[in-house]
Chain A
């Protein structure tokens, strides 16, 4: 089972993650779907939710995204998201601090997103 799909998560600021995954589950706006190698080429919009990256059959990474778009081809899977939080190396206190600044700035969208990220930790 050597076949993998090249997964990339790109935000406007940087390429957040780039790994070869055996499956990626993304929160499509029509429902969750898994992108495996040789998946039919698909472009789908995403809703707020968690992208799960499977390497060798187990979850190796979870990233919260605030909507976005995914571009799946037979050999790669690219997620474009404006806001994303890597749930594996994010700390609760840090996210709560960010949430506090968002509240102070009156940025409700950011606030809701961070709330969702905190509860998904």
Chain B
């Protein structure tokens, strides 16, 4: 049976763990508000951008459309961008991204495609780099959190455009956690290249019956200017969503940890008190039986 001193130490250490987890929960909750605002603030930009792309894409003919819009006409080589967190202790957040990536890679390989991986965030890279060492082409760290700058994103989209031009890429997908609510995140796979055109939005634009747009300098050059921006915007939006999800996941995980620590403290305190009482009772019995023996 555990003695009193051991139990006391155990309770003390669980208490200090609880302090840490509850502080982490508080920090995550405070940051989550900022991250959520950021993610929401970036939405008007991306919705407007895709509205313009939609209306332009319907006019571009498939033969002359830039590769970023229509793809290369082949579908052999796929680049997966995997967005995970740089830090752990956030529940199933990184685990679900890693599982989804593994599944997607296997599926694409089964279809006979060549797969490349670009990792954003340290955790997924650490977990997958042994297994997929030969197909990870690049990895980024520190492109996270509440202060992602657009310049960082540009380096990612430039890399994608380079690969596309060098014939190293036919399709590009991004895997990230979409922020649904503070307690739920959803692993999402979006296709960045070729651009998916929203049929409904397109039909809606046509039905408005307004005068047709004039394009300056002309449709093709507007499109060439716009597509790289659109790519960056979508990656940016995905990373912001992922950051908000990470904080939400950490908040929930740390809340659970704090509660578990509380339960454990209660149980240990009970055992401690019982043991203390048992020790007192034994001592009393010893004294009484000693007195009787005299």
Is B94 part of the binding interface, using a Cβ–Cβ cutoff of 8 Å?
no
Residues of A within 8 A of B213 (CB): 41-43
Interface string of A1-36 (1 = CB under 8 A from B): 000000000111111000000000000111000000
Is A51 part of the binding interface, using a Cβ–Cβ cutoff of 8 Å?
no
| Cβ contact within 8 Å between A42 and B215 | yes
Interface string of B40-62 (1 = CB under 8 A from A): 01101110110010001000000
Closest to A102 in B: B151
| Cβ contact within 8 Å between B222 and A12 | no
Closest to A44 in B: B216
Residues of B within 8 A of A77 (CB): none
B interface, over-half SS: helix
Interface string of A59-77 (1 = CB under 8 A from B): 0000000011101011000
Interface size class of A (residues with CB under 8 A): 20 to 34
Of the candidate stretches B98-106, B224-232, B245-253, B254-262, the one touching chain A is B224-232
Tell me, in angstroms, the Cα distance from A42 to B55 when the chains sit together: 12
Residues of B within 8 A of A42 (CB): 213-216
Q: Which of B45, B212, B216 contacts A10 (CB 8 A)?
A: B45
Is A80 part of the binding interface, using a Cβ–Cβ cutoff of 8 Å?
yes
| Cβ contact within 8 Å between B38 and A43 | no
Residues of A within 8 A of B216 (CB): 28-30, 42-45
Q: Which of B49, B211, B217, B237 contacts A29 (CB 8 A)?
A: B217
Is B236 part of the binding interface, using a Cβ–Cβ cutoff of 8 Å?
yes
A10-B45, A110-B151 given; A43·B52 CB < 8 A: yes
Closest 6 CB pairs of A and B: A44-B216, A14-B41, A45-B225, A42-B214, A41-B213, A12-B45
Interface residues of B (CB under 8 A from A): 38, 41-42, 44-46, 48-49, 52, 56, 150-151, 210-217, 221-222, 225-226, 229, 232-233, 236-237
